[in-house]
Structures are given as C-alpha cells and as structure tokens.
Structure 1
Amino acid sequence: MSIPDVPSVFKQPTAAERPWWWQLVDASGAEVSIEGELAGQRFANQSDAESWVGEVWQELLDAGVAAVVLFEHDRQVYGPMKLSA
C-alpha cells in the first residue's frame, strides 16, 4: 500500500505564487541570514509583505537585522528601510 501524493492544498507555494520577499541586512548593508520561522518568508502581494514586517520588526531587530529591502521577484521595490525604533 502506498501513500497518495500530498493534495495541492498542502503544497508550499512557489516563488511565482509568492513573489514578494524581504532582504534582511545589517547596519553595514550586508545580508543577514536568520533561522526559524522568520527566515525565508515570501508573500503573495506587497500589502502582505509590509504587514508582516510591521508585525515582526522588533524580532528581526533582535536577531541582528538593521534594515529590510523589499523585492518583487528580482526587482528591488524600495529600501533599505531601517528597523530601529
């Protein structure tokens, strides 16, 4: 007996389905790599991306992220935007 394929509702969205993402940078502008649920987040639209960073900016700051840069696919939309309070 084999296990059936995972239904499509459980598949992770592709980059094409969620083209918006934040590049996380330190104070010098170098990219910061973080672990856990904050890492690698992608969004379906700009509004969702901006809402997310608005909710987690303090956690990002605590993880060593000084600023964020918003991208849609490979196109830089804006930033760097400082996270300091």
Structure 2
Amino acid sequence: MTHEWHWRTERSGGGRGGSAQPVGPDSFPSQGEAETWLGETYPDLLAGGVRAVSLYEGDRQVYGPMSLEPDPG
C-alpha cells in the first residue's frame, strides 16, 4: 500500500474563512520527508502568507493545523 503525504494550508487574508489549499510538492514518500521539507521551507511559506499547515496521509489528517508563526514567549 502506497502512502501519499502532503501539506495543506489556509492562507491569511483569504476572505470569508479561506479554504484549505495544497502547499509544496504534490506528495512525499514518507512523513519524515514531508516534515523535513517543511522544516527547510517554512520561513518562505510564512513570508508568502501561510500561517498554519496540516499534514495529511492520503485523505486522513495526521495533525494540524500547526502554526508557522514564532512562539511569542
């Protein structure tokens, strides 16, 4: 069974509630590779208006939404 891991996000300023959109490559072969990609690119995503992401395995949400913004404390 092949698992497809991918990130989805809601962008700020998206109007009425916004809608979840894919972010990054279409899919990753493993959870670890998806998380590594996010760790390397989250500053660019944040600069582009992405405030939070959720990780999916296929159609199943694994976790999230997870904020990309710095912890204030």
Q: Do both proteins adopt the same fold according to a TM-score greater than 0.5, normalized to the shorter chain?
A: yes
Structure 2 spans left out of the alignment, 5+ residues: none
Equivalent residue, structure 2, for 1:51: 36
TM-score by length of 1: 0.65
Where does structure 1 differ by over 3 angstroms across 4 or more consecutive aligned residues? 27-30, 38-41
Q: Indicate the structure (1 or 2) with the bigger Cα radius of gyration.
A: 1
Pairwise CA RMSD of aligned residues? 2.2
When normalised by structure 2's length, the TM-score is: 0.74
Which residue of structure 1 aligns with residue 20 of structure 2?
31
More strand by share: 2
User: Matched residues in 1 for 2:50 and 2:21: separation?
Assistant: 6
Please list every run of 5 or more consecutive structure 1 residues that lacks an aligned counterpart in the other structure.
1-15
